[in-house]
Amino acid sequence: MSDDPIIPARVYPAGTPLPPAAGAPPQPPLGPDFIPPWRAAPPPPPAKVPPPAAIEVHHVHTHIVVAPEPELEGPSIWERLADWIRPRQTIIGLAAAVVPYPAYGHSLATAWAATLSDARDTGSIGAAYALAGVALTIALLINRRRHTWWARALLATAVIGGTGALGWYDPITLLTGVRP
pLDDT in tens, 64-121: 888 888 777 888 888 888 888 888 999 999 999 999 998 889 999 999 999 999 998 8
Percent of the chain scoring above 70 in pLDDT: 93
Report in angstroms the alpha-carbon separations of 142 from 82, 95, 146: 19, 18, 6
What is the pLDDT confidence band of residue 154, given thresholds at 50, 70 and 90?
Answer: very high
Listed in sequence order, the DSSP H helices in 86-148 are 87-98, 108-122, 125-145
pLDDT at 23 over 80: no
Confidence at residue 24, expressed as pLDDT on a 0 to 100 scale: 66
Task: Name the burial class of residue 136, with classes exposed (0-12), middle (13-18) and buried (19+) by CB atoms within 10 angstroms of its CB.
Answer: middle
Report in angstroms the alpha-carbon separations of 6 from 1, 9, 97: 12, 9, 103
Across the range 6-32, mean pLDDT stands at 73
Contact 178, 117 (CB under 8 A): no
Task: Name the burial class of residue 128, with classes exposed (0-12), middle (13-18) and buried (19+) by CB atoms within 10 angstroms of its CB.
Answer: buried
Contact 129, 165 (CB under 8 A): yes
Highest mean pLDDT among 12-21, 32-41, 56-65, 150-159: 150-159
pLDDT at 139 over 80: yes
Confidence at residue 145, expressed as pLDDT on a 0 to 100 scale: 92
Q: Is the dihedral of CA 146, 147, 150, 153 positive or negative?
A: positive
How many C-beta neighbours within 10 Å does residue 30 have? 9
